[in-house]
Structure 1
């Protein structure tokens, strides 16, 4: 019998360190956004709760508690926030670079498997945000399920 088949694989949420880690990550990220000449105009005037909502959204996507969808919104509403923003590829790339650098600064896991899943989700989500930012209406049903993200091709956390 394969000993690894008996080991429970943690969710990305668990491997990342739970809600405190997600909130620390997005709190620092949005502090840094306000000092960034490319991103600051995009987020100017955002609500004081924005960073927490994003933390809760990503945590839920990474199979953490359903706090965002239970208390704060839905996937449909998250898409709706991007409508008409006309995000550029330069802004998207800067967002990716800054959020990944912030992940390093707050100590999110840096093993190749976790980072592969993290980068995969951030690339996927940011590219959808750019597409949706050019739209005037949401083409997704209002009851569309939250996306979920897992380990992908790696199958689980790094084990030397």
Structure 2
């Protein structure tokens, strides 16, 4: 169908673009005084795993759910980490800087959806990282779309 609206995954440039994003992002994280302590023990595969997760969230292949454990695994990676607001804010700042650096689309519609997910997802990660918090009871990742800002929806 020629008029089909591409997914955010397709618009971003697919798996390759998201891998470039997470590689650049985690280099920034490891050089950041506020975030490096939280990530210094991450595996070499962590950036690629996050790219796969973002790919699924943005409407790409369901590889994170099928191969990596889906939402329960994502949740387990954040439990008990006690993420603080300033850490969450820096995380978002650095991923947005990395998006610019690797050339993710800069059009307003894509960036609106991308920023909205990073804000929403990081707030959820922060909330679920607090001790004593009861996490959401679901199995699947939330799939993020364009909202009202899809291409051709002017």
Q: TM-score, normalised by structure 2?
A: 0.93
| Alignment of 1:91 onto 2:83 | no
Alignment of 1:5-154 (within 5 A): 7-136=3-132, 139-141=135-137, 144-154=139-149
- Residue 138 of structure 1 deviates from its aligned partner by 5.4
DSSP-derived class of the 1:7 partner: coil
Aligned to 1:3: none
DSSP-derived class of the 1:86 partner: coil
Name structure 1 gaps, 5 residues minimum.
1-5
Q: TM-score, normalised by structure 1?
A: 0.90
- The separation in 2 between residues aligned to 1:153 and 1:11, in whole angstroms, is 13
Question: How many residues end up aligned between the 2 structures?
Answer: 154
Q: Decide whether the 8 Å contact of 1:18 with 1:64 is kept in 2.
A: yes
- The separation in 2 between residues aligned to 1:100 and 1:71, in whole angstroms, is 27
4+ residue runs over 6 A deviation: none
- The separation in 1 between residues aligned to 2:145 and 2:11, in whole angstroms, is 11
- Residue 74 of structure 1 deviates from its aligned partner by 1.1
- The separation in 2 between residues aligned to 1:39 and 1:139, in whole angstroms, is 23
- The separation in 2 between residues aligned to 1:52 and 1:138, in whole angstroms, is 28
DSSP-derived class of the 1:153 partner: coil
